[in-house]
């Protein structure tokens, strides 16, 4: 059954509109509390990124949960994966993240974690939606939930991050620029790297409630590229506003995206003798990643776009590594969800062990040229069912001769068809993409 309020990554919207108003968030907190009330722990943890609206929504959630009789632990500004970790280690019934990830400050949202630190199962989300539409009540005053701040939340998570690499690993003499996007990792990421011996230059660590993700972080790596070159650093690390995505920059100033980072981590696991059966990417993962993974003797499968689907596929396969080109990388042998800091540490540990530069480590994967055109839909046209479109796709695939691929998919948020082609020769890729897009637009 389709969900009415929950998307693939919780609830998100512009502050003051839709569900992202104080009264709606208060009732959402109450609905979550009513669904979870009666569980042994009777406890929910709440964390947030650095958006100015986070304080407002934190108070609303706290009030709603308390009214439902559920106790609350407030973590303050924390990366999303840190909140997932503390949900488990504090033995909470659930965790709530107040964040809109890489979106601008005027958006906000709610993400939910189960007691295991993973995404809430669908049945719980359906129960919360049903409760949200019921009249709100308040438990007896004697039974109201109590709220406390967890004063050592950041320290606990810092130690958890460091524990994901071998104890003896040191990043001594590594000159690293880290861009925290003025988001939730602003205090944690530099401290983790410094404690592991790196020489750290920190960017995007002055949040003011409004500058989160503003021309900084994993969605805007240009600033990091510039600083890495200026400071002649060994590499750069770019995180997004809530700390679950990672993009890196090598000493040449070249961006190293999620596909290349996933390749490096898979290679590191194999070199360490770990049992790696396969890797999960998405429909948008570069074919160069697929070929490189298969050349290692591993399986590679593609999930739908979205970390939720990557995680579902990993669980179905019983595998540990997956991710997206955007830098959302999941290492289930280290944590329960995508974690930018943990993913960065896996790459850095491999560099420290092998003595390779980041540029050298990524060189085993050759990215194929990829081109995408968004074609607006008009009226009731259904181009994916068109024989002309199917014929154009078939002709393109014949020209690629098995060394490329064609993907047409509808946008989940706009009336668009995304036409994507990738292959070994850039001019051919661009030509084929435009040819198919023209046919799609004409039907």
Give catalytic status of residue 101 as yes or no. Answer: yes
CA distance 248 to 174: 14
Tell me which of 99, 101, 326, 343 is the catalytic residue: 101
**Rounded-to-integer distance, Cα 368 and Cα 426, Å:** 8
**Gap between the Cα atoms of 430 and 325, Å rounded:** 20
Distance CA 98, CA 80 (A): 9
| Residues belonging to the active site | 101
């Amino acid at each position: 059954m389709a969900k009415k309020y929950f998307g693939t990554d919780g609830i998100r919207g512009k502050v003051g509109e839709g569900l992202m108003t104080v009264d709606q968030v208060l009732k959402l907190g109450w609905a979550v509390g009513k669904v979870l009330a009666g569980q042994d722990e009777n406890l929910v943890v709440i964390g947030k990124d650095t958006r100015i609206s986070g304080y407002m929504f934190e108070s609303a959630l706290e009030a709603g949960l308390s009214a439902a009789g559920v106790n609350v632990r407030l973590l303050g500004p924390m990366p999303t994966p840190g909140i997932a970790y503390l949900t488990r280690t504090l033995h909470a019934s659930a965790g709530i993240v107040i964040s809109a990830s890489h979106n601008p400050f005027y958006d906000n949202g709610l993400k939910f974690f189960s007691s295991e630190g993973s995404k809430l199962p669908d049945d719980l989300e359906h129960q919360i939606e049903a409760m949200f539409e019921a009249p709100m009540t308040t438990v007896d005053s004697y039974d109201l939930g109590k709220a406390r701040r967890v004063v050592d939340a950041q320290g606990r998570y810092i130690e958890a991050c460091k524990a994901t690499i071998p104890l003896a690993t040191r990043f001594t003499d590594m000159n690293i620029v880290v861009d925290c996007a003025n988001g939730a990792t602003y205090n944690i990421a530099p401290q983790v790297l410094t404690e592991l011996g790196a020489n750290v230059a920190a960017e995007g660590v002055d949040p003011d409630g409004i500058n989160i993700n503003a021309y900084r972080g994993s969605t805007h790596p240009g600033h990091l590229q510039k600083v890495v070159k200026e400071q002649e650093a060994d590499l750069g690390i770019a995180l997004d506003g809530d700390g679950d995505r990672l993009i890196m920059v090598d000493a040449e100033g070249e961006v190293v995206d999620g596909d290349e980072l996933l390749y490096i981590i898979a290679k590191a696991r194999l070199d360490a003798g770990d049992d790696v059966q396969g890797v999960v990417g998405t429909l948008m993962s570069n074919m160069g990643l697929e070929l490189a993974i298969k050349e290692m003797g591993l399986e590679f499968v593609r999930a739908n776009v979205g970390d939720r689907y990557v995680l579902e596929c990993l669980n179905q396969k019983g595998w540990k590594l997956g991710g997206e080109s955007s830098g959302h990388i999941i290492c289930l042998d280290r944590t329960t969800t995508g974690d930018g800091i943990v993913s960065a540490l896996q790459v850095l540990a491999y560099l420290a062990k092998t003595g390779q530069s980041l540029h050298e480590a990524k060189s085993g994967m050759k990215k194929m040229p990829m081109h995408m055109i968004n074609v607006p839909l008009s009226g009731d046209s259904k181009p994916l069912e068109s024989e002309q479109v199917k014929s154009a796709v078939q002709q393109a695939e014949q020209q690629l001769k098995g060394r490329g691929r064609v993907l047409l998919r509808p946008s989940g948020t706009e009336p668009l068809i995304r036409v994507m082609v990738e292959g070994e020769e850039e001019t051919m890729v661009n030509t084929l993409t435009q040819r198919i897009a023209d046919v799609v637009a004409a039907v």
